[in-house]
Structure 1
Amino acid sequence: MKLIFLHSSDTHGFLLPTDYQTAGDYTSPIGLSRVSAVIKAEREKYGAENVIVTDAGDCLQGSPLASYAHSTENMADLDVFTQAYNLIGYDARCLGNHDFNFGLDYLAYYVDNNKAPIINDNILDAETSTPAFGKEYEIIERNGIKIGLLGIATQYIPHWESKDHIQGLSFKSAYEQIKHYAKILRPQVDILAVMYHGGFESDPQTGEATEPHRGENEGYKILTKIPEVDLMLTGHQHRRLNMVVDNTALVQPGYRGEAVAKIEVEIDDQTKKITNLTTSLIDTKDYQPDPKMVSLVSDLDRRTQAWLDQPIATINEPAPIENAMKGRLEGAPFINLLQQMQMWFTKADVSATAVMSEKAKGFGKQVTLRDVILNYPYANQLCRVKLTGKELRNIIEHSLSFLQEDEAGNITFLDRWIKPKPQLYHFDVFYPVNYEADISKPVGERLISLTLNGQEIDDDKIYHLAVNNYRAMGGGFYPEYSMDKIEFTLDKDYVQMFTEYLTEADIKVDTNKNYKFL
């Protein structure tokens, strides 16, 4: 007997095959409508009774369509969004960290109107210690085979979300919760699968650490220390993974619906034991979008495209970024403009930001909402953080640890920030401080100079830093940041801030370069 598991994750609200870079272009090799077509084809191939379909979250935020659906404050638009996911016919789902970005009321509506059971083992009601959403597990039966499904999310959500978005919730270790529930569920089922909105802190095959083991990703620990688990259906890291390690199959299907992960489970008819596991990734680009989903979403998409093309401001001079990589290493007017905006809102002394999109092109003289969202696609909020000069110096030194000098003497990024998952959104640059760094020096000792308004940064002096809430709450494994150092958080997202800043501020785009890596 053979059962087929199909798994999606991190679709981020990309329902149609467009990245919204160009109005009217629906040829992108992504989107939930393509995912739907893959799943329909696989059900047709194997028979629906032999197929189990799961999803590991991060659906509500990430695309311009998702941003527009939230911006209208009309639950009818969220309902269309929700029904698109219902069209897939998932057997079970779990939540992701970005599903909390628009607040608990928004998330609750989505969960309540979701036809698939939401499985949630580690996001608990702080008072009752019971699941705040969904239930602990699901048991489904296919051809006499009992399949147990557990669902968990990264416990790191409180490090990124504002307090009102997680009010009354308690986040537990994914590893500890799966360890607990696996012992309960395993005796009741023939196959135990875990949907995990989280990834791997170490290489699944070699065990080599790929990031600090701080709890954001606990996949390797689950893989190696909880033998009851047969299948790991993962997400969060946007990686393309499919392998079998020590009789456990693990998959992760990339980002924005670029692929559907597939696990073929062969089972002995008599003993009901697993005899073989095979994993693969099905690229969705080879499938035409599901016409039912296209029809369902078309009006919401049409309104999204019109919304994106609204001009929100005209600025005196363009603020381009030639390309993301060059901008990180050399600076760019758009990066400076973003820093200037953060300082305008916070009245901070210093600002920190990363280049948030690999496709960032900055702004021309006329700026539309499409420009803003494509340059800054995340639903972050802006904070002001209180730091000593020494703490600021340590933060900058950490960002410099991303860099290396190659054999030809060029400054490049360490492979660990590019592979297995690109993470250069963690690399911050700072403004209006002037700083130089010698990358040939040891990590932690690279800053040659660091001045603000012509004065050397004083280790003992207090400075105020403007930075997004993701970083201020610990994202990126930076030192020195902590909740108690956050002075305030603005109740605005970056679309709102850019709209206000570009229309109300007296803007002079700074085209100077204020940092140099030697």
Structure 2
Amino acid sequence: MRQLKIYYTSDVHGYLFPTDYISDDTKPMGLLQAIQDYDKDGNTLVIDGGDIFQGSPFINYYQNRHDADNGIAAVMNAGGYDYITLGNHDFNYGFDFLTGNLSHLTAQVTAVNVLDKKTGEQLFPAQIKTLENGIKVGLIGAVTDYVNVWEKPEHIATIDIVPVFPAMQAEIDKLRGQVDVLIGIYHGGFERNLETGELLSETGENVGYQLLEMLDFDLLLTGHQHATIEGRYVHGTYTLQPPNMAQKYFEIKIDLADSGDVTITSEMRTPKLLNEPELLAKIQPLQNEIMAYLDAPIVTLENPVAPQSHLDLAQTSNAILALTAHVQKNATGADISIVSMNNNTLELPKNVKVRDVMRNYPFDNTLFVMRLTGVQLKHVIEKTAEYFALENDQMVINENWLVPKKEHYNYDFYYGLDYEIKVSNPVGERLVSLNYQGQAVTDDQTFTVALNNYRAVGGGEYNDYKIAEVVKDTGLTIQDLLIDYLQENPSLEFDEELHVKISK
């Protein structure tokens, strides 16, 4: 009997330190804490499932400065990372800059569905690792091919990201006879409920269940959905998924019997609050700089904004969302300003700092202007209306927007319109009235709309945006617009109201 041990993280999103940046409290999270728990020897692999180079205020700050000396490589190298795959957000600053970030890592990259556009060759092929005890491990990584839907074309102009399933299948056919243990590292999640097999999504964004059902992996490591999925066998393959921000990591043990049989167990662990002085000395100055930036005061408000539940907020909006709509409209002159909710609780204290803006608008999004027809506008509002459900005649949030991943950020508010949603109506028929400047919207009318880049490319299954006309990519970051506005206009007093009625 020989044994292989694995430490696995995914969707770290640049959270190195034990803080979520919403407050300056110390929490048991962050890659810097997790790696200090790793007990690595010659029969151990340390693996990450992608989305490392984008997401936290820390990493976005340094990536926007195009500073590859951002602490990520220092921490991952210190943690002994052997292999990573790429996440969809790792492409957000362009492929050339991504390769610059990767060049500082000692870890090997495997993402077999990322090809050179000119030659068609794999840029990040499958890997074989022979451990000290002689176990041969095959590792096949892949990133969700929905990068093609979300990413700016210029960021992936030199590469092709092809469908996950056939790319991984081809590599399995090559490696299965050469290795003792075969591991898939998939930056994607599950399109079906792992317990029941119930279909959750047909988009192709996540195909993890198909991989479990039809491919011959011993272990499938997943990510992307930020779900917390304890290790289990599904269709004969062991699979799991850690939550984001290095809030948890997995220690996985693989026993290889003399017969060749593979048995896998795992334990999900919480990082301890530890202190590694030498590594901290290297990267603490980076953290000090971002903390000083986040703690910079912006404005003192007469009336703080109190928190609400997501369900209440979806029906009423609040001053923070109205502010976002206002700055988007001011920057573009669009007819309609479309603002998304997010997974954080929206609130503002009396004394507003930069970190408060980041908490309320946590996305590093840019501002787009698009042209929609009346019928397209109706379709996207109907998509938003799917957020609601009725349970015992009470308004609740649709379970599909909560499991397997919380998606409050896919709920939109339409400033500049007067509209009513009736939740008891069938899905697709819930928009019962839609008016613009006092007149009913007709199908052939056209409107300019201001919205974030994620929604503009159809993110969240808002498919009408994929075929709508792009008027302008402003290149303006919505976070910066919010900060600049509050610095110049120290109040939340402006003429921007949401006219919506949500009824049972």
How far is the alpha carbon of 1:326 from its aligned partner?
Answer: 2.5
How far is the alpha carbon of 1:442 from its aligned partner?
Answer: 1.0
Q: 1:236 maps to what in 2?
A: 224
How far is the alpha carbon of 1:305 from its aligned partner?
Answer: 0.6
Distance in 1 separating the partners of 2:431 and 2:4: 57
How far is the alpha carbon of 1:323 from its aligned partner?
Answer: 4.5
Q: Matched residue of 2:52: which SS? A: coil
Distance in 2 separating the partners of 1:38 and 1:329: 44
| Aligned with residue 214 of structure 1, among 193, 197, 203 | 203
Distance in 2 separating the partners of 1:341 and 1:139: 52
Q: 1:148 maps to what in 2?
A: 138
Distance in 2 separating the partners of 1:219 and 1:390: 34
Deviation digits for residues 200-231 of structure 1 (CA, Å, limit 9, x no counterpart): 111234221112x222111111111112x111
Residue 320 of structure 1 contacts residue 332 of structure 1 at CA under 8 Å; is this kept in 2?
A: no
How many pairs were matched up? Answer: 500
How far is the alpha carbon of 1:188 from its aligned partner?
Answer: 0.9
Residue 321 of structure 1 contacts residue 333 of structure 1 at CA under 8 Å; is this kept in 2?
A: no
Q: 1:260 maps to what in 2?
A: 249
Q: Matched residue of 1:382: which SS? A: strand
How far is the alpha carbon of 1:62 from its aligned partner?
Answer: 1.2
Q: 1:377 maps to what in 2?
A: 362
Distance in 2 separating the partners of 1:201 and 1:385: 30
Residue 94 of structure 1 contacts residue 152 of structure 1 at CA under 8 Å; is this kept in 2?
A: yes
| Aligned with residue 280 of structure 1, among 267, 271, 285 | 267
Q: 2:164 maps to what in 1?
A: 174
Distance in 2 separating the partners of 1:257 and 1:182: 29
Q: 2:435 maps to what in 1?
A: 451
How far is the alpha carbon of 1:504 from its aligned partner?
Answer: 5.5
How far is the alpha carbon of 1:279 from its aligned partner?
Answer: 2.8
**Counterpart AA for 1:278:** T
Residue 262 of structure 1 contacts residue 280 of structure 1 at CA under 8 Å; is this kept in 2?
A: yes
Q: 1:425 maps to what in 2?
A: 409
Distance in 2 separating the partners of 1:87 and 1:9: 17
Q: 2:174 maps to what in 1?
A: 184
Residue 38 of structure 1 contacts residue 287 of structure 1 at CA under 8 Å; is this kept in 2?
A: no
Distance in 2 separating the partners of 1:157 and 1:328: 28
**Counterpart AA for 2:204:** G
Q: 2:55 maps to what in 1?
A: 62
How far is the alpha carbon of 1:135 from its aligned partner?
Answer: 3.3
Q: 1:398 maps to what in 2?
A: 383
Deviation digits for residues 31-64 of structure 1 (CA, Å, limit 9, x no counterpart): 1122112223xx3xxxx12221110111111111
Residue 180 to residue 196, structure 1, CA distance change in 2 (3 Å):
same
- Indicate the larger mover: 192-201 or 424-433: 424-433
Q: Does 1:21 align with 2:22?
A: yes
The TM-score, its normalising length taken from structure 1, stands at: 0.91
Distance in 1 separating the partners of 2:405 and 2:276: 29
Gaps of at least 5 residues in structure 2 are none
Distance in 1 separating the partners of 2:303 and 2:120: 55
How far is the alpha carbon of 1:379 from its aligned partner?
Answer: 1.7
Q: Matched residue of 2:370: which SS? A: strand
Q: 1:306 maps to what in 2?
A: 292
Q: Does 1:120 align with 2:111?
A: yes
Q: Matched residue of 1:482: which SS? A: helix
Q: 1:436 maps to what in 2?
A: 420
Q: Matched residue of 1:148: which SS? A: strand
- Percent identity, aligned pairs only, is 32
How far is the alpha carbon of 1:499 from its aligned partner?
Answer: 3.2
**Counterpart AA for 2:36:** A
How far is the alpha carbon of 1:136 from its aligned partner?
Answer: 3.5
Deviation digits for residues 171-226 of structure 1 (CA, Å, limit 9, x no counterpart): 11111100111101111111110111111111234221112x22211111111111
Q: Matched residue of 2:32: which SS? A: helix
Deviation digits for residues 218-274 of structure 1 (CA, Å, limit 9, x no counterpart): 1111111112x1111111000111211232111111111011123221111x33x13
Q: Matched residue of 2:432: which SS? A: strand
Residue 323 of structure 1 contacts residue 358 of structure 1 at CA under 8 Å; is this kept in 2?
A: no
Gaps of at least 5 residues in structure 1 are none
**Counterpart AA for 1:248:** T
Residue 389 to residue 243, structure 1, CA distance change in 2 (3 Å):
same
Aligned counterparts, 1:422-501, within 5 A? 422-482=406-466, 485-501=469-485
Distance in 2 separating the partners of 1:157 and 1:362: 33
Residue 517 to residue 102, structure 1, CA distance change in 2 (3 Å):
same
The root-mean-square deviation of aligned C-alpha atoms, in Å, is 2.2
**Counterpart AA for 2:369:** R
Q: 1:37 maps to what in 2?
A: 36
How far is the alpha carbon of 1:100 from its aligned partner?
Answer: 1.5
Q: 1:86 maps to what in 2?
A: 77
Residue 128 to residue 380, structure 1, CA distance change in 2 (3 Å):
same
Q: 1:339 maps to what in 2?
A: 325
**Counterpart AA for 1:60:** F
Residue 195 to residue 289, structure 1, CA distance change in 2 (3 Å):
farther
Q: 2:8 maps to what in 1?
A: 7
**Counterpart AA for 1:403:** F
**Counterpart AA for 1:448:** V
Distance in 2 separating the partners of 1:105 and 1:372: 30
Q: Matched residue of 2:400: which SS? A: helix
Residue 128 of structure 2 contacts residue 136 of structure 2 at CA under 8 Å; is this kept in 1?
A: no
Residue 324 to residue 299, structure 1, CA distance change in 2 (3 Å):
farther
Deviation digits for residues 266-309 of structure 1 (CA, Å, limit 9, x no counterpart): 111x33x134222331222x453544443332111111110112
Q: Does 1:359 align with 2:322?
A: no
Residue 63 to residue 293, structure 1, CA distance change in 2 (3 Å):
farther
Q: Matched residue of 2:464: which SS? A: coil
| Aligned with residue 329 of structure 1, among 300, 310, 315 | 315
How far is the alpha carbon of 1:413 from its aligned partner?
Answer: 0.7
Distance in 1 separating the partners of 2:53 and 2:329: 29
Q: 2:92 maps to what in 1?
A: 101
